[in-house]
Amino acid sequence: MTEYVVGGTVLDLRPDCLVITNRGLFGAGEKSNALLARTIPLGAIREVLHRERGAVKDGYLWLVLGDEPAPDKPSPLKAMESPNAVLINSRKKAKAADELAHLLRDIVAMNRASGVDPASVDYDKPRSGEEILAASTRVSLEGLGLRDDVAEAASALMNVSKPFGRILTALSSMLDPGEQVEALTTGATGGLLAANAPTVLVLTDSRVLTVRDQASAPTDILKRSDLTGVSWQAGPVGRLDVLGAARTITLRGLDNLATRPMVEILRAAANASRVQSDAITDIERLVALRDAGALTPQEFETEKARVLGSRD
């Protein structure tokens, strides 16, 4: 086993495969990096493209795998866009990349002479950004000792920094007995960036609440039955307003990946709350008419059933 370090990438050459790991990915640490590493069988490498770094120009180490087409006119700029390439910055030493490129070319030549077809060898496909973020989040959540419902809701987050980890750990003690968390997202209250006031917005089966870092109790609470609407502006900063009958909860600097499904649940809950409120108003009106003698008891029951039935 021989390890080559190129910039922030570790290429671990083993007898039958090459393991590629990005160092410090999302700040998640060694365990997360191991989870996110790609393992490429040596037999899957069809071609090795390598350009040594120059005095002012970047170089690259680029693996053409399986039946992938070789890039047309490869360049450092195109290498930056490929998940199978490692960019070699012109300001850094590239001796390790040079050595590895020569060694891999020798291995490819030997495999070709032995009749190995790279197209028939399975290898790890590059992960999408969302898959990488999800894997990083799973590792970040490990060891926090979260309740199952909190952990399930938190799995939708793009990343869990230490402040948000502290909030999630403390959240269980702030919930009522039997209360279940359905969704949550992260952001900030009282500032544009999450770093200013790290906050978790939590939707449970009975209410909406915000919890700030190192707080001993929720900062804002809205009963789910009091929801009247939701306004969401997605983007790098973004803004979410959860509208209630008497107050509004505002969150900025949002985790957009987790916020999207949460907004859908909030909108459905607000619609259900409005329907329930309308039904109560209509029944109160029927009660007044019955008490005034304008409706008989039988007419009252018929009209009440109609109101309730129309809102099922």
pLDDT tens per residue, range 121-176 = 988 776 665 666 666 677 678 778 899 999 999 988 877 888 899 999 999 999 99
What is the C-alpha end-to-end distance of the chain, expressed in Å?
66
Task: Return the closest-CA partner of residue 183 out of 162, 195, 200.
Answer: 200
- Model pLDDT, residue 127: 64
Mean residue pLDDT across the chain:
81
Fold of 146-271: PH-domain like (2.30.29)
Mean pLDDT of 222-235: 87
**CATH code that applies to domain 2-126:** 2.30.29
More confident residue, 24 or 217: 217
Highest average pLDDT, of 46-60, 198-212, 271-285, comes from: 198-212
DSSP structure class, residue 55: S
Which residues on neighbouring strands pair with residue 269, listed in sequence order?
Answer: none
- Main-chain dihedrals φ then ψ at residue 22, nearest 5 degrees: -90, 130
- Model pLDDT, residue 138: 73
9 CB-contact burial (10 Å; exposed 0-12 / middle 13-18 / buried 19+): middle
3-state secondary structure of 30: helix
Q: Is pLDDT at 269 greater than 50 in this prediction?
A: yes
Asked if 241 and 266 touch (Cβ cutoff 8 Å), the reply is: no
d(CA 122, CA 211): 46
More confident residue, 234 or 167: 167
d(CA 205, CA 176): 11
Buried b (16+ CB within 10 A) or exposed e, 26-45: bebeeebbeebebebbbbbb
| Same CATH fold assignment for domains 2-126 and 146-271 | yes
Mean pLDDT of 268-280: 71
pLDDT tens by residue, 45-83: 999 988 877 766 777 888 888 888 888 888 877 777 777
Q: What is the pTM of this model?
A: 0.56
- How is the chain split into domains, by residue range? 2-126, 146-271
More confident residue, 91 or 112: 112
Nearest 5 degrees, angle CA 145-CA 147-CA 151?
85
